[in-house]
């Protein structure tokens, strides 16, 4: 008997070994990190509307095997938030007063939207016109739902739900729908509102499923890559479709959180499967690009070439691709190591080539710049442009989060310098606001960079070769602060990225000086952007009386005001140990 027993044990070990070797081989050949299941029995999503047309559009290229959501590993994600000490009565008084002021501004904008544009995508904050640039499904309302709940505006929240109930995703104000924007604003907005309100309002999940079912049709292409600029009405008619040949990586690479959360809440793996196919392409080509570890701004989703193009950035058009890597790891509860690997490998070239130190009069800070390659592989020449975009100010928050989640303590210092870079951008701004794009002088030696007035002057002269006059005149007429050589784009369109990173770093470190800086930013922004109706973007924040735009993007109430609010709220509200925020600041509940 003992002999038979030992035979059985050895046989079992051999089989287990073979299974292990096979799965290792499969992965090393670019196979899935996730168990595949036949796609014959999709679970039924909780849509009460069985006639919902998007649910019945036949798939021309049905999925044969689905990637299944991985099992999360409880406690595998380290604690993220700082343990905040008890505050004094005086500190609390100041904090609550600030919190109320932020809430007051939110209510002001909400009332403006309610009065002038209820049910439309946006209110124009000067003329009061209603505008529909996001399909006409009440983008501002859906984007602001979770902020309403977080700020304790429950009556307004419930009022808004009646409007949500009426949303009709089978008609659209646009010919071409942006799948990414629809995902982050509508799908993210509905899912987060469902999560933060304790999952007690089923209409939110039902409508999220409707959006999910609609967007799923955009993935019905020969290679299952989604169409990012999607001809909505053609798709509804079942016109054959193919993915684009020049697709922005942020638009195709940052759908993961929302689709994953939808799968988690519905037990329908199709959504997770849809985004996992995309990320597997990013994964398999990560080392083949002209800046290995990072991906070019544009990829060909039709031919699945994700490595050819020569421009690299973590600013606009690429940003949230990188932002979502650590966040997806958290949302999956550490159930996959794929996103750790993608993030870790992207951070290497980012630290080496993208992050640069601008020459300043004393501040030791970092900005993410843009990199172009001369196109040669494998040894391409790389050039970093010392350009800082407001959009790339999310990087401080991303690196801080990555430092905590992946246990990279030395990265916290990089995160601080990135956050301080954007704070420097605000502090040196004419009005105290960082413009959309500025150019600076890059330090030659990151560790030893002394102020060199002549070098600054030289680069200002180079930036304006056709301007006559002295360099002092150029600096004066262009209103350039020391270290800035050119303002490529002087707008401030109510963007959140700088305060977003201040928020994340504050919640991680508990550094009170960040809350003080946030308050200065808030007062400055509001002073210049408030209108009778709501708040307006600025056409040029480098002049003393900035002309206002007649536009308030929905991210003002979804993101910017939410981050300001959360900095002054009790740190347990939307704790980073309970939620992952999507790129539109929508908190998605973590499963472990
Ligand atoms: C938002 O819609 C999102 O944060 C997106 O990732 C980038 N742009 C805006 C805010 O600036």
Active-site residue 436, yes or no?
A: yes
Report the Cα–Cα distance between both ends of the chain, in Å, rounded: 45
Enclosing domain of residue 575: 75-589
Q: Is residue 58 part of a domain?
A: no
User: Each residue of 145-166: pLDDT tens digit?
Assistant: 999 999 999 999 999 999 999 9
Q: Is residue 61 part of a domain?
A: no
pLDDT for the residue 10: 54
Q: Is residue 4 part of a domain?
A: no
* 8 Å CB contact between 172 and 233: yes
Number of domains in the chain: 1
User: Each residue of 359-369: pLDDT tens digit?
Assistant: 999 999 999 99
Higher pLDDT, 23 or 76: 76
Q: pTM of the predicted model, to two decimals?
A: 0.93
Options 146, 436, 500, 553, the catalytic residue: 436
DSSP 418: H
Alpha helices (H) along 386-542? 395-405, 411-427, 453-463, 471-477, 497-509, 512-529
- Measured CA to CA, the distance from residue 150 to residue 587 in angstroms comes to 10
* 8 Å CB contact between 252 and 274: no
Please give the distance, rounded to the nearest whole angstrom, from the Cα atom of residue 131 to the centre of ligand 1: 19
- Measured CA to CA, the distance from residue 105 to residue 563 in angstroms comes to 13
Query: Residue 519, SS3?
Result: helix
Across the chain, mean pLDDT equals 93
* 8 Å CB contact between 68 and 36: yes
Query: Residue 319, SS3?
Result: helix
Q: Is residue 109 part of a domain?
A: yes
Q: What is the DSSP annotation of 141-173?
A: HHHHHHHHHHTT-HHHHHHHHHHHHH--TT--S
Active-site residue 181, yes or no?
A: yes
Q: How confident is the model at residue 411 (pLDDT cuts 50, 70, 90)?
A: very high
User: Each residue of 246-284: pLDDT tens digit?
Assistant: 999 999 999 999 999 999 999 999 999 999 999 999 999
pLDDT for the residue 38: 79
Give the CATH number of the domain where residue 466 resides: 1.50.10.10
Flag whether pLDDT at 457 surpasses 80. Answer: yes
Of all residues in the chain, the percent with pLDDT exceeding 70 is 92
Looking from the CA of residue 181, the nearest atom of ligand 1 is 2
Q: Is residue 567 part of a domain?
A: yes
Query: Judging by DSSP bridges, how do beta strands 387-389 and 437-440 pair with one another?
Result: antiparallel
Residue nearest to atom 10 of ligand 1 (CA): 495
Q: Which neighbouring-strand residues pair with 587?
A: 581
Active-site residue 48, yes or no?
A: no
Q: Is residue 94 part of a domain?
A: yes
Q: Is residue 13 part of a domain?
A: no
């Amino acid at each position: 008997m003992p002999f038979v027993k030992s035979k059985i044990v050895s046989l079992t070990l051999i089989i287990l070994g073979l299974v292990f070797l096979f799965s290792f081989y499969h992965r090393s050949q670019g196979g899935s990190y996730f168990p595949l299941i036949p796609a014959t029995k999709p679970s039924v999503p909780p849509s009460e509307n069985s006639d919902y047309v998007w649910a019945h559009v036949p798939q021309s290229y049905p999925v044969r095997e689905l990637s299944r959501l991985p099992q999360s590993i409880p406690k595998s994600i380290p604690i993220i938030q700082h343990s905040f000490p008890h505050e004094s009565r005086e500190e609390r008084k100041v904090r609550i007063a600030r919190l109320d002021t932020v809430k007051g501004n939110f209510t002001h904008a909400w009332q403006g939207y309610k009065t002038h544009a209820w049910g439309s995508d946006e209110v124009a904050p000067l003329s009061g016109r209603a505008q529909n640039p996001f399909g006409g499904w009440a983008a501002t309302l859906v984007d602001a739902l979770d902020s309403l709940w977080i700020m304790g505006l429950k009556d307004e929240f419930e009022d808004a739900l009646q409007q949500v109930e009426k949303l009709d995703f089978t008609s659209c104000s646009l010919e071409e729908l942006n799948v990414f924007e629809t995902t982050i604003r509508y799908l993210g907005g509905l899912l987060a509102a469902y999560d933060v309100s304790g999952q007690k309002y089923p209409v939110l999940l039902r409508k999220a499923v409707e959006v999910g079912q609609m967007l799923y049709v955009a993935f019905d292409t020969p290679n299952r890559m989604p169409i990012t600029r999607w001809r909505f009405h053609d798709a509804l008619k079942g016109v054959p479709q193919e993915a684009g040949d020049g697709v922005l990586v942020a638009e195709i690479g940052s759908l993961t959180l929302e689709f994953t959360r939808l799968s988690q809440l519905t037990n329908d793996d199709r959504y997770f499967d849809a985004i996992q196919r995309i990320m597997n392409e990013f994964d398999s080509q990560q080392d083949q690009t002209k800046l290995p570890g990072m991906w070019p701004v544009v990829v060909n989703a039709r031919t699945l070439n994700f490595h050819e193009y020569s421009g690299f950035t973590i600013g606009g058009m690429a940003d949230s691709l990188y932002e979502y890597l650590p966040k997806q790891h958290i949302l999956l509860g550490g159930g996959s190591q794929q996103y750790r690997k993608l993030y870790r490998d992207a951070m290497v070239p980012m630290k080496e080539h993208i992050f640069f130190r601008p020459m300043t009069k004393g501040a030791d800070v970092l900005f993410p710049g843009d990199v172009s390659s001369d196109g040669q592989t494998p040894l391409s020449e790389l050039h970093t442009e010392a350009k800082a975009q407001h959009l790339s100010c999310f990087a401080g928050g991303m690196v801080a989060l990555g430092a905590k989640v992946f246990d990279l303590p030395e990265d916290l210092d990089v995160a601080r310098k990135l956050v301080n870079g954007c704070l420097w951008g605000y502090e040196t701004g004419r009005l105290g606001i960082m413009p959309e794009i500025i150019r600076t002088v890059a330090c030659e030696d990151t560790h030893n960079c002394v102020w060199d007035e002549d070098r600054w002057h030289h680069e200002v002269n180079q930036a304006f070769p056709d301007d006559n006059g002295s360099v002092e005149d150029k600096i004066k007429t262009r209103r350039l602060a020391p270290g800035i050589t050119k303002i490529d784009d002087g707008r401030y369109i109510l963007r959140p990225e700088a305060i977003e990173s201040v928020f994340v770093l504050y919640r991680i470190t508990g550094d009170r000086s960040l809350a003080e800086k946030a308050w200065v930013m808030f007062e400055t922004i509001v002073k210049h952007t408030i209108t009778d109706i709501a708040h307006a973007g600025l056409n040029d924040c480098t002049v003393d009386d900035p002309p206002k735009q007649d536009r308030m993007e929905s991210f003002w109430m979804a993101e910017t005001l939410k981050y300001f609010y959360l900095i002054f709220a009790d740190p347990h509200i939307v704790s980073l140990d309970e939620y992952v925020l999507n790129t539109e600041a929508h908190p998605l509940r973590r499963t472990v």
